[in-house]
Amino acid sequence: MLKDNFKNQHLRPISAALVFDDGEILWGNGLGVNKSVIAELCFNTSQTGYQETLTDPSYTKQIINFTFPHIGIVGTNDQDLESNKIYAEGCVINQAISNYSNWRAKDSLNTFLNNNDIPGITGVDTRYITRKLSNEGAKKVALINFGEDQNNFEEIKTKLKEWKGLENLDLATIVSTKKVYNWDEGLWKTNVIKKPTKNYPVVCLDFGIKQNILRSLNELNFETSILPATSNINEIMEKKPKGIFLSNGPGDPDATTKIILPTIKNIIKLKIPIFGICLGHQIISLALGAKTKKMYQGHRGANQPVKNLNNQTVEITSQNHGFEVDRSSLPNDIVETHISLFDGSNEGIKHKNLPIFSVQYHPEASPGPHDSSYLFEEFYKLIDAHA
């Protein structure tokens, strides 16, 4: 048996493996359920918020390598959720999970993974993995927490070679809500956003929306309706929205051109205020004539510096994306508003003549700082000016 052939004097007997598409294998200890998954491996640099990260739908078909070594120390609870389940395919953690301690904790991270049918691996050098991804770019991997798959190791490696990766995958329509619903929960902390007196109906197109986005919109008294990503222009306008919000989400933005993009182009013609985040930013950019491309390693974490070109200030932002808007493809009627101070990539745009703006990062954070929460207020002001 494979796990009987490898031992480590400091750890339990080997019970898991991380297999790279270049043939490299890292051995460790199993976490969560006994199963194997194949996905793109990425690294996240946040020091807190692992539960929010795991439940972010934007991590669909991705395995998260956490750079912070002490993941699991505050357990898990019923409040720190960004969706109703874990969307990441698996997780990679440096140190074995110790006893958790937090007054809100309900269960351990291991129990949380098991309840969501998600595998993980501990006891591997996450710093080495991060350097590997930084130097060599995104990697396709298989995470194997040995169980019934222990005798199918070669078969799993074959499946890994056959998997084509995230490019050309339309995951937004898969993770999106299948029915219309409303949202009435506000932010947990008061005074993050100043609550206005007027309220406006807003339609959120769900490409994999995080709940803290909905809390942030509700905090501004928006009457928020969340619609499936595949909604057509008639279904959207039945809600008589004063504004349209395009959410974050997973997958290749170019893969949305058949179903989602035509609808966005029709919305633009109506000159309704539009605000997009993450995948929503990429989709609105495509609809306005720009192009997107796969990033070398992506931006994921709650400590990403972004320069606001409007006022020359720096915002520390929360980000999670592996695709970007190609700066060189921006049409003349689009103004670039934000750029990354890591690699100079595009982080925000606005239209010169239409009430449209979007950002690549996550102003709602969760986890992360609140430097950019003002953007929700800017959306309100834009709607108020065009109401």
Q: How confident is the model at residue 1 (pLDDT cuts 50, 70, 90)?
A: very low
- The per-residue pLDDT for range 36-63, each reduced to its tens digit, is 999 999 999 999 999 999 999 999 999 9
- The per-residue pLDDT for range 71-100, each reduced to its tens digit, is 999 999 999 999 999 999 999 999 988 889
15: closest CA among 146, 138, 193? 146
Q: How many CB atoms lie within 10 A of CB 101?
A: 9
Q: How confident is the model at residue 304 (pLDDT cuts 50, 70, 90)?
A: very high
Whether 132 and 262 map to the same domain: the answer is no
Are 54 and 245 contacting, i.e. CB atoms less than 8 angstroms apart? no
Catalytic residues: 278, 362, 364
Q: What is the mean pLDDT of the chain?
A: 92
Is residue 11 over pLDDT 50? Answer: no
Whether 91 and 205 map to the same domain: the answer is no
The verdict on residue 328 lying in a domain is: yes
Whether 82 and 190 map to the same domain: the answer is no
Q: How many residues does the chain have?
A: 387
Our measurement of the distance from residue 260's CA atom to the centroid of its chain's CA atoms, rounded to an integer in Å, reads: 19
E strand or H helix at 158: helix 153-162
Alpha helices per DSSP H over 137-231: 153-162, 172-175, 211-218
The set of residues, in sequence order, having a beta carbon less than 8 Å from that of 25 and lying 6+ positions away, is 17, 18, 19
CA distance 38 to 80: 26
The verdict on residue 194 lying in a domain is: yes
- The per-residue pLDDT for range 145-191, each reduced to its tens digit, is 986 556 677 888 899 999 999 999 999 999 999 999 999 887 766 55
Residue at a domain's end among 139, 162, 185: 162
Task: Summarize the confidence of residues 225-246 as an average pLDDT.
Answer: 97
| Position 54, amino acid | L
What is the per-residue DSSP string for 347-386? Answer: EEEEESSSSEEEESSBTT-SSS--TTTHHHHHHHHHHHHH
pLDDT for the residue 147: 67
Beta bridge partners, 321, equal: 299
Residue at a domain's end among 129, 162, 195: 162
Phi/psi of residue 217, each to 5°?
-70, -40
Task: Summarize the confidence of residues 189-195 as an average pLDDT.
Answer: 59
CA distance 302 to 300: 7
Q: How confident is the model at residue 194 (pLDDT cuts 50, 70, 90)?
A: low
Q: How many CB atoms lie within 10 A of CB 156?
A: 17
Our measurement of the distance from residue 114's CA atom to the centroid of its chain's CA atoms, rounded to an integer in Å, reads: 21
pLDDT for the residue 3: 38
pLDDT for the residue 231: 97
Whether 58 and 76 map to the same domain: the answer is yes
Q: For the CA atoms of the chain, what is the radius of gyration? A: 21
| Position 96, amino acid | A
Whether 283 and 341 map to the same domain: the answer is yes
Q: How confident is the model at residue 7 (pLDDT cuts 50, 70, 90)?
A: very low
pLDDT for the residue 152: 74
What is the per-residue DSSP string for 42-74? Answer: EEE--SS-HHHHHT-GGGBTEEEEESSS-TTTT
Are 280 and 205 contacting, i.e. CB atoms less than 8 angstroms apart? yes
Whether 124 and 19 map to the same domain: the answer is yes
Q: How confident is the model at residue 2 (pLDDT cuts 50, 70, 90)?
A: very low
The verdict on residue 255 lying in a domain is: yes
Residue labelled with tokens 């003002």: 374
CATH of the domain at 61: 3.50.30.20
Whether 99 and 210 map to the same domain: the answer is no
Residue at a domain's end among 130, 162, 194: 162
Whether 93 and 195 map to the same domain: the answer is no
The pTM of the full predicted model, rounded to 2 decimals, is 0.92
Whether 237 and 326 map to the same domain: the answer is yes
E strand or H helix at 145: strand 139-145
204: closest CA among 184, 219, 185, 223? 223
Domain count, the chain: 2
* Residue range of the domain that includes 274: 172-386
- The per-residue pLDDT for range 98-145, each reduced to its tens digit, is 889 999 999 999 999 999 999 999 999 999 999 999 999 989 999 999
- The per-residue pLDDT for range 308-347, each reduced to its tens digit, is 999 999 999 999 999 999 999 999 999 999 999 999 999 9
The verdict on residue 167 lying in a domain is: no
Q: How many CB atoms lie within 10 A of CB 97?
A: 18
Whether 185 and 151 map to the same domain: the answer is no
Is residue 9 over pLDDT 60? Answer: no
Q: Is 24 exposed, middle or buried (0-12, 13-18, 19+ CB in 10 A)?
A: exposed
Whether 13 and 103 map to the same domain: the answer is yes
The verdict on residue 267 lying in a domain is: yes
Is residue 217 over pLDDT 60? Answer: yes
Whether 189 and 150 map to the same domain: the answer is no
| Position 373, amino acid | S
The verdict on residue 330 lying in a domain is: yes
The verdict on residue 275 lying in a domain is: yes
CATH of the domain at 292: 3.40.50.880
CA distance 145 to 36: 6
